Each structure stands twice: as structure tokens, then as C-alpha cells.
A and B are shown apart, each in its own frame.
Chain A
Amino acid sequence: DGGITQSPKYLFRKEGQNVTLSCEQNLNHDAMYWYRQDPGQGLRLIYYSQIVNDFQKGDIAEGYSVSREKKESFPLTVTSAQKNPTAFYLCASSSSAGKLFFGSGTQLSVL
């Protein structure tokens, strides 16, 4: 089946630790996105990538990093600099601006 695969479903981070969230797509889409979803805040854009080896900051990029070494993969690292990392993280991809296909998300919590 074609789609977006995010892993893990649940992730726990200790103080001072970096954690990486995986996002893989087999839809052959050029653009990929990371959003953070908090109750009452909607989806806030962290990073997006329009092409391999290129990515742009979204509105809340501080404390996060990404890479786009392959078209299929767009991992997100939540660094220790992110002081409020507890949230639901959604990855998405798009072949043309607008129609996003979303993964099932990763819930990140701090221990």
C-alpha cells in the first residue's frame, strides 16, 4: 500500500536527550512536511522540504533539525534545545501544493 509511515507511534524523551522521529513515504512525492499538533493550536509547521538535499524552516523550527538525503525519507530530530517537546508530530507529503497525505503521527512525551 502507498502511504506515509511514521515511527515510532509513541516516544519518550529524557532531559537533555535528542530523539529522532522517522517518516518514510512511497508515494514518490517531492515535498515533505513536519507539523506539530497541540490541543487548541492546530498544526504548526516545523520544517518542510521541496526537493532532496534542500529544506526550509517553518514557523517553529527552533529546537528541531531535519535532513532530506533521500526522496522517500524526511526524519525529524527533536534536540535538547526544544524546551517543550511534548506534542503530537505529524509528517506529510505532497506531489503538488496543497493535497497533503498525512502519516498516523508520533506522540512524543518527556520523562
Chain B
Amino acid sequence: AQSVSQHNHHVILSEAASLELGCNYSYGGTVNLFWYVQYPGQHLQLLLKYFSGDPLVKGIKGFEAEFIKSKFSFNLRKPSVQWSDTAEYFCAVNAGNRDDKIIFGKGTRLHILP
């Protein structure tokens, strides 16, 4: 069965600090990987996704993530965070077959200090 682990439950950073949020998944086959973000009071929205090809994917608002197949990881990064990045971030996985099942991690609350 698929599962997703997010290592950090709550992260506090100052503006301009670099960010890396960990995500590991357990599934032996081909996977599709995602990061979603939920800003305070808003719907969940897609930040970026990996289906195939270049393992370094770029998303909105300067975020990027790297798929490392050997480590079953898909960590989210941003070189310099802003106060507006305060949100909850969710990693998600879909088995890359024809099943549309999508499993989420428990989320990481990111708090950026101005």
C-alpha cells in the first residue's frame, strides 16, 4: 500500500532563510508525486508535480522539488522564503498506473517570521 511520510510537522523560519521540507513515500512502482499548499483560509492548491522526465521540478512562487528515486524522496525547497509562504504544505503520491488513488502526508505547518 502507498504511504507518505513528512518528517517535519512544524517549521519556523525567518524571512530570507532557505527551506527544505522532507517527503518520503513507500511504493515500489512508478509514482506520480505532488506538493500541495494550503494558505490560511484558502483551498488546497497544487504547488508542483512530478510525473516523469527531469527529476527537478519547478512550481509556483519559486518552489522546486527533487525526485530521488533511490531514496524514495521528493523534498520541497525554496532558496529564500517570504512571510507570505506561511501555510501548510502537503506531499502526495499516486501510483503511476491507471488507479487515481491519491494519498497525502500529514502535512508540515510552515511559519515565517517577518
Contact = CB atoms under 8 A, between A and B. Distances in A.
Contact of A41 (B34, B102, B103, B106): B106
B94 A102 contact: no
Interface in A42-58: 42-45, 48, 50, 56, 58
Interface string A83-107: 0000000101010011110111000
A43 B104 contact: yes
Contacts of A43: 44, 90, 104, 107
Interface residues of B, number: 25
A24 B23 CA distance: 32
Given A90-B44, A98-B51, A42 B104 contact: yes
B100 A45 contact: no
The 7 closest A-B pairs by CB, nearest first: A42-B106, A43-B104, A31-B100, A42-B107, A102-B44, A102-B43, A97-B94
20 contacts: A35-B104, A40-B9, A40-B106, A42-B6, A42-B106, A45-B101, A45-B103, A50-B99, A59-B103, A90-B44, A92-B44, A94-B102, A97-B94, A98-B32, A98-B46, A98-B102, A99-B34, A100-B102, A102-B43, A104-B43
Interface of B: 1, 6, 9, 32, 34, 36, 43-46, 49, 51, 90, 92, 94, 96, 99-107
